[in-house]
Amino acid sequence: MVLAVRLDSLRTDRLVMRRWQHADREPFAALNADPHTMRFFPGTLDRAASDAIVDRIEERLEAQGFGMWALEIASTGQFIGFTGLNPLPGGMPGGGGTEVGWRLARTAWHHGYATEAARAAVDVAFGVLEMAEVYSITAVLNEPSLAVMRRLGFTEFARWDDPRIPEDNPLRPRVTFRLGRGQPGPPHRSPVSWENLVPGETP
């Protein structure tokens, strides 16, 4: 799916979701190198791997007009991670659909930022893209992310094992949560404004 316009910047009560900047790469690499932040992922990432993620995200944002936006605190301009929408590959529950995902630096935890930004991403999925459903996936052990999914109104869809992770690794069991358009969600929502709509190119 490609938008006729690109959603280059979204604004919630406390956050800005925007295109990536060169200055984001260093703090994003630090986030990805932190073992505690990455404890529910197969491993940490070095700078090259972290930069490669930024490159892929930016390419997708440019091509389709939405994706995984860089996330900053509106009042300070501090980069704290990313949140947004990402296509899911086939071969897993929810495959071929769209994932709502997030990854935040440890300093940004316990402030409700992940929920606020993910809710804005859901609003884009249903209100702008008119998707029928979205998914979110994590390790079964990742209770913090599971709590965010439940606060957003997602419900468990399927449990499965990730074949890319060794059988004896406790992160191998995964869970997919699903949220349908029109499905009841939490009553309190953070308003979203579209700050920068620019003409896009349709392939």
Global pTM value: 0.88
Cβ burial 6-24 (10 Å sphere, 16+ → b, else e): bbbbbbbeebbbbbbeeeb
Give the CATH superfamily of 5-187: Gcn5-related N-acetyltransferase (GNAT) (3.40.630.30)
Checking if the pLDDT of 11 tops 70, the result is: yes
- The predicted-structure confidence for 78-100, as pLDDT tens digits, reads as follows 999 999 999 999 989 999 999 99
Confidence of residue 6 (pLDDT cuts 50, 70, 90): confident
Return the beta strands (E) in 45-127 as ranges. 68-73, 79-87, 98-104
Among the residues of 124-179, which ranges form H helices? 143-151
Of 80, 82, 44, nearest to 60 (Cα)? 82
pLDDT for position 199? 36
For residue range 142-151, list pLDDT tens digits in order. Answer: 999 999 999 9
The domain segmentation of the chain, as residue ranges, is 5-187
Say how many residues make up the chain: 203
